[in-house]
Amino acid sequence: MTSELHSRPADTLIVFDFETTGLSPDMGDRSIEIGAVLIENGQITQRFQQLMNPSVRIPVFIENLTGITNRMVSEARKNNEVMAEFFEFIHGHNLVAHNASFDERFLRAEFKRIKKTFKGGIACSLLASRRIFQQAPNHQLATLAEYKNLPSDGVYHRALADAEVTAHLWLSLLTELEHKHDLQVPSFAFMAQLCKTPKHQLHRLLKASQAVKYTG
């Protein structure tokens, strides 16, 4: 990740989500839907959503889970066309996803097929929630949406709907840091570091950030 992107505020970035044929692109699974929202200065300003034709069959389990059928994707554009468009949409931004390791694998696999390389950072709202919302019953997206009373239409396992809820979750995390820890609009680099910090070291990280704020 470039240092310029690294230092950008965490309230301006893109939140994204994939629906896929399975769990692993290394096992031949492909993306079937991409959804994303652009957050600028804490406000959702743009949306991106496309079904994709992966040229592989969607298992019945995935059809039932997502509502995305083989007939639906047969009428959609091919993955390489959609992902080239998505690459342009996210250019110059950092990314966030819920359980980002999953979405990042598919993002990089799809970009590799079209010879593109994403150079921004990718943070995980699931890991951040585990550290900031430690009292939540669990850290699944639907549970956190109910726990924090986030805007949601109750639809999950569709890419744009999940990306929208994740965006509201991310903004809720930033609000919590501001209200409880006096950290107003931390950098993306700080949030990426927070995601990797063990819970028992979190207090030290927050204190260090506050010290930098008051001595900077």
pLDDT surpasses 90 at 164: yes
Find the mean pLDDT for residues 31-46.
98
Q: Is the dihedral of CA 132, 134, 136, 140 positive or negative?
A: positive
Give pLDDT tens digits for 25-34. 999 999 999 9
pLDDT in tens, 137-146: 999 999 999 9
Give the model's pLDDT for residue 152.
84
Whether the Cβ atoms of residue 156 and residue 162 lie closer than 8 Å to each other: yes
Number of domains in the chain: 1
What pLDDT, on a 0 to 100 scale, did the predictor assign at position 212?
55
Q: Which domain holds residue 130?
A: 3-215
Q: Is the pLDDT of residue 210 over 80?
A: no
Per-residue pLDDT at 3 exceeds 70:
no
Positive or negative CA dihedral for 132, 135, 141, 146? negative
Query: In whole numbers, what is the pLDDT of the chain averaged over residues?
Result: 94
What is residue 215's predicted lDDT score, i.e. its pLDDT?
40
Query: What is the C-alpha to C-alpha distance for residues 147 and 124, in angstroms, rounded to an integer?
Result: 18
List the CATH number of the domain containing 162: 3.30.420.10
Residue 71: CB atoms within 10 Å: 9
Query: What was the pLDDT predicted at 70?
Result: 98
Task: Check whether 170 has a pLDDT greater than 70.
Answer: yes
- pTM, 2 dp: 0.94
Q: With the C-alpha atoms ordered 176, 180, 184, 187, is the resulting torsion angle positive or negative?
A: negative
pLDDT-based confidence at residue 153 (cuts at 50, 70, 90): confident
Tokens 């939140």 identify what position? 15
